[in-house]
Amino acid sequence: MTADAPLADGAVSSLGDRFGAPAAAPATSAITLYARGASAGFDRKVADALALLRDAGRRFSPITQASSLGVEDMVVTDLLQKSGIDASIFVLDTRKLHAETVALIGRLEAHYGRTVDVYTPDLAVAAAFVAENGEDAMYRSLGLRKACCDFRKMVPLERALAGKQAWITGLRREQSNARAEVHDIELQRIDGHDGASATRAKVNPLAGWTWGDVWHYVDLHGVPYSPLHDRFFPSIGCEPCTRAVTLGEDFRSGRWWWEQESAKECGLHVSQDAGADGDGAALEAPGFESLPGAVSSLADRPASHAAPVRPITVSTVPESSE
């Protein structure tokens, strides 16, 4: 089996019985289940999201959307299209994505008439990792799981963001405790190994949206989305690390379900540094430092949503063919 081949049926790392993951529920419509739950301020949230995107488009160039192809990011893409700003869209194809996720790239391009940039990991690095640690390495320790996330997500992300002044995400404060402090605009200080530093903005137009808001928007505007959402996958990552959730579980309980709650991030949006023993105890994300005057020009943005600065060290990654 190669590093990027689908997991064989019955393999121990195939989501199933090893950790008691619940089986996917019979197919149904996520729109039917969730679209009627929009908040009272839904129309204002849509207007504010469009204003935020247009404001970011004026202030930052080049700017790009990081899309996981989950429903929030599909809504952001639709808003991006409506905003009219000049922004690219990229996807990190880890080579471990569900077939439904990969297929959605083509559906997105056809629906919106635009090209999606796809960034992949170094296949030689992936093959070496699997040869040394096995296909189910992510289940054996937190350190191995994070190493897998690093070369499949973090390194390609650095290439995708190289030269960009800002990136747009589908983060929502409701998604998890680790994301409860997400701001509309965050300014990240990027410290390179060469001693140079730069500032990159992170724009989160759905920060204050609810799950019901997201699905109400999908229903109103015919936004394409993954059929996995109809099978109770609210948060979709790599196939070996994602399962369906059951009634009453939170949004991200199906991600890395065998780990402690504090460890459930890959590092794209929240620090995932862990102790050297890799026993599942993750360090808390670094605190944000307020940067006065850096907020969006939306006059009525709450003061508590002021843009922060987070120190991030970025290594230089050589370009490779996609």
Decide: 225 and 74 in contact? Cβ < 8 Å.
yes
Residue type, 181: E
Catalytic residue among 148, 149, 241, 266: 266
Measured distance CA(257)–CA(132) in Å, rounded: 24
Beta-carbon-side half-sphere exposure of residue 204 (alpha carbons within 13 Å): 24
238 is known as an active-site residue: no
Cα separation of the two ends of the chain: 22
Q: What's the angle, vertex CA 184, arms to CA 209 and CA 155, rounded to 5? A: 100
Measured distance CA(159)–CA(58) in Å, rounded: 23
Measured distance CA(161)–CA(245) in Å, rounded: 32
Measured distance CA(154)–CA(146) in Å, rounded: 10
Decide: 76 and 67 in contact? Cβ < 8 Å.
yes
Measured distance CA(127)–CA(124) in Å, rounded: 5
Annotated active-site positions, please? 266
